[in-house]
Amino acid sequence: MGYICVNSPVESVPYGQSVIPANRLDYIEALAERTLAEVPGNVLEVGVYKAGSLLPLARALNENPTCERYGAYGIDTFTGHPYTDGHPVHPKGKYSDVDFGELERFLITTGLFDRIQLHKGRVEDIWPTLELPKFSFVHIDCDLYLPVKFCAQQVPRLMNKGGVLFFDDYGHEHCPGATRAIKEIFPNHPFTEVSMEDDGTRWSCFMNF
């Protein structure tokens, strides 16, 4: 079967929804559920936007009784891309239509807000200021070279043994910088590419620690 490595770009979604296609979002949630069943722990997402993919991670925690004491951490500028890799689909300022207060108010309505900690800023700037725990599942969805490379360098130090690090943008034609960053930091680390049989697409990858 032939695969494609691209989807139609999405410019905006309502709060609680994701630019990630539904089948891939289901895949990420199921993978997080399996991982947390084997390795209970915290989850992290870098690239939250309007929390459409952070919410399934928080839900996976909430529905697992062995994860009662763990939380879902989210890092994002919440003001859009602070720079660009030059690809026309991802200009500076994309995904800037987030009102942080509105996002928090929406999350309160989900009943999961007490499981979530949001941190606002460029990940490479605020990371040293954060007191982060160990993580069992991490979802990196930054689109761009610099933040993806930073996460690829820093996040493995906080991974629990048996945890999963998931990169949403690996191999995606709209995110060449993200793919380059992952290849540079993990030239020899084995990882699994995510191919979706139902729509014939192939992008994203994850690795076990």
Across the range 33-51, mean pLDDT stands at 98
Q: What value does the mean pLDDT take over residues 67-86?
A: 98
What are the tokens at 77? 């500028």
pLDDT surpasses 80 at 1: no
Domains present along the chain, CATH in parentheses: 39-208 (3.40.50.150)
Closest CA to 172 of 151, 189, 193, 197: 193
103-120 pLDDT tens trace: 999 999 999 999 999 999
pTM above 0.75, yes or no: yes
Give dist(CA 42, CA 69) in Å, integer. Answer: 9
Residues 6+ apart with CB under 8 A from 66: 36, 37, 40
User: What pLDDT score does 203 carry?
Assistant: 97
Tens digit of each residue's pLDDT (9 = 90 or more) over 167-176: 999 999 999 9
Taking each helix axis from N to C terminus, what angle separates 22-38 and 54-62, rounded to the nearest 10 degrees? 30
- Mean pLDDT of all residues in 55-68: 98
Q: Please say whether the beta carbons of 170 and 182 come within 8 A.
A: yes
